[in-house]
Amino acid sequence: MRLIFLGPPGVGKGTQAKRICEHYNIIHLSTGDILRGEMAAKTEIGEKAKSFMDKGALVPDDVLLGMMNNRLKKDDAQNGYLLDGFPRTIPQAGGLINIMDDLSHSLNCALSLTADEDGLVQRLIKRGKASGRSDDTPDIIRQRQNVYWKQTAPLLDFYRKKNLLKEVDGIGEIPEITDRILEVLK
């Protein structure tokens, strides 16, 4: 099973991704988590990413594509994966097609979790207080929502046209949403 999770910041992609990965026994690749790890380790990628992430802007496509090209080649990715937070732009989606073609991987589904924006901002402000994530402050949260609607939402049409898009309502109890997702993936 190879999946992409799409949805605005705060919709619960990370939480659902973990549950879906357990169900299918596939790996969860969150580019936000990978980039935060690179930043903490002060690698070259981490140093490049930091200024973009702190502003709530997207890290350049070539950085993401190089990083994911390496990551998807690894042994643990050969049984399947869920991509959480990648691709985020049309050029990244195009690049991902090439990466997957080279590995003879096919995509099963791009799953979009949906929710209204005001609820999401409140949820993220709470998360920021709890986790201390430096990009979960109200201004940066708004900025990240804007980036999603401008740069990432066009991917919905991109995958819809390929007949790969499934949309799931992301509002409700965590187990209930997981059930909805598993139902559309059947």
Q: Binding pattern to ligand AMP, positions 88-107, x when CB under 6 A?
A: x---x---------------
Q: Binding pattern to ligand AMP, positions 116-145, x when CB under 6 A?
A: -------------------x--------x-
Under a CB-based contact definition with an 8 Å cutoff, are residues 114 and 167 in contact? yes
Rank residues 146 and 179 by Cβ distance to ligand AMP and give the closer one.
146
133 in catalytic set: yes
Residue nearest to ligand AMP (CB): 32
Closest-CA residue to 35 (of 24, 27, 43)? 43
Rank residues 96 and 177 by Cβ distance to ligand AMP and give the closer one.
96
- Residue of 19, 127, 142, 160 with catalytic role: 127
Interatomic CA distance for residues 154 and 90, integer angstroms? 7
Task: Tell which positions 38-77 bind ligand AMP, by CB under 6 A.
Answer: 52-53, 56-59, 64
Rank residues 87 and 170 by Cβ distance to ligand AMP and give the closer one.
87
Asked if 8 is part of the footprint of ligand AMP (rule: CB under 6 A), the reply reads no
Interatomic CA distance for residues 67 and 83, integer angstroms? 13
Residue 22: Cβ within 10 Å count: 11
In whole angstroms, the minimum distance from the beta carbon of 134 to ligand AMP comes to 10
Task: State the DSSP string of 73-140.
Answer: HSGGGTT-EEEES---SHHHHHHHHHHHHHTT----EEEEEE--HHHHHHHHHHHHHHH--TT-SHHH
Asked if 158 is part of the footprint of ligand AMP (rule: CB under 6 A), the reply reads no
Under a CB-based contact definition with an 8 Å cutoff, are residues 111 and 6 in contact? yes
Asked if 10 is part of the footprint of ligand AMP (rule: CB under 6 A), the reply reads no
Asked if 85 is part of the footprint of ligand AMP (rule: CB under 6 A), the reply reads yes
2 in catalytic set: no
Query: What is the C-alpha R_g of the chain?
Result: 16
Interatomic CA distance for residues 52 and 62, integer angstroms? 14
The tokens of 44 are what? 């070259």
Residues that bind ligand AMP (CB under 6 A): 9, 31-32, 35, 52-53, 56-59, 64, 85-88, 92, 135, 144
Catalytic residues: 13, 88, 127, 133, 144
